[in-house]
Amino acid sequence: MAPIDIDKSLSALTEERETLLHQLSELGADARGELTGDMDYGDAFADAGAATAERTETMGIIENLKVHLDGVIAAIGRIEDGSFGRCTECGKNIGDDRIEYRPTSSKCIDCKSRTSS
Ligand SMILES: [Zn+2]
């Protein structure tokens, strides 16, 4: 099996981070997932109830993006400190196939299935 291509993973992660940050800023949020100002919903959302519903939905999307972004940033951090590809729980290799398919994986399949069940 070929070793993990760290450079490829890093550039994929960096690209993903940029995309997520861009999506967050388009939703009016900063890198911490916090709204940077009042959203301008325009006249279409003059109804306060509709504006609140829209805001709740937007917050949900932002939250998902934020969770994803945290995973990407953590993975970049693991590349930088040299622990990339190892399970954060047990320290075993996560597996090249798994890490290439999903570079944000932080746990091996065993630990992942144990903690998520
Ligand atoms: Zn593990």
Compute the distance from residue 87 Cα to the ligand 1 centre, in Å: 5
**Looking at the domain assignment, is residue 40 inside a domain?**
no
1: pLDDT strictly greater than 70: no
Compute the distance from residue 117 Cα to the ligand 1 centre, in Å: 14
**CA dist 45 → 9, 42, 50, 54, 77 (Å):** 42, 6, 6, 8, 41
Domain containing 63 equals 6-32+47-116
Counted residue by residue, the chain has a size of 117
pLDDT band with cut points at 50, 70 and 90 for residue 40: low
pLDDT of residue 49: 83
Compute the distance from residue 75 Cα to the ligand 1 centre, in Å: 15
Compute the distance from residue 109 Cα to the ligand 1 centre, in Å: 7
> In angstroms, how far is CA 93 from the centroid of its own chain?
21
User: How buried is residue 88: exposed, middle or buried, by Cβ count under 10 Å (0-12/13-18/19+)?
Assistant: middle
**Looking at the domain assignment, is residue 39 inside a domain?**
no
CA–CA distance, 106 with 52 (Å, rounded to integer): 36
Total number of domains in the chain: 1
**Looking at the domain assignment, is residue 89 inside a domain?**
yes
**Looking at the domain assignment, is residue 41 inside a domain?**
no
Domain of 27, CATH number, reads 1.20.120.910
pLDDT digits (tens, 9 = 90+) for 54-110: 889 999 999 999 999 999 999 999 999 999 999 999 999 999 888 988 999 999 999
Is-contact 90 111, C-beta < 8 A? yes
**Looking at the domain assignment, is residue 110 inside a domain?**
yes
pTM: 0.79
48: pLDDT strictly greater than 80: no
